[in-house]
Amino acid sequence: AWDILQVHFEGTTQVQSSRKDLLATKFENLAMEEHESVADFSSRLSSLVQESRTLGKIYKDAKLVKKLLRCLPSKFTPYKAGLSANPISESITYDEMVGKL
């Protein structure tokens, strides 16, 4: 009975694998729009990360911080340069980085 419920609600292993691949592609292609606020982009990224987590894909904070910094529009260039030069940016959590921006 459990297997039937699991397949019904989560899909087969093949479906789950396809969803993971799709979410990974969405993660890599996700970009912040020039007019978009950091809060709005962070919300989109967090939703994608949460959906991935339900399928067993866990993104570490370091990867999320790097993704966030890479996606910032050009108006953040001076700020990004300062953060990149600071070694603390290696150990900061994703939520802390969003708060700093």
What confidence tens digit (pLDDT) does each residue in 54-97 have?
888 999 998 999 899 889 888 888 877 777 666 665 688 989 88
Structural contact between residues 46 and 31, judged by C-beta atoms closer than 8 angstroms? no
Distance, first Cα to last Cα, the chain: 48
Number of domains in the chain: 1
Q: What pLDDT, on a 0 to 100 scale, did the predictor assign at position 20?
A: 86
The model carries a pTM of 0.74
Q: Is the pLDDT of residue 11 over 70?
A: no
Banded model confidence at residue 29, pLDDT cuts 50, 70, 90: very high
Q: Average model confidence (pLDDT) for the chain?
A: 83
Domain span including residue 85: 2-100
Q: Which residue from 65, 61, 57, 70 is spatially nearest to 29, judged by alpha carbons?
A: 70
At residue 36, the pLDDT reads 92
Q: What integer pLDDT is reported at residue 55 of this predicted model?
A: 85
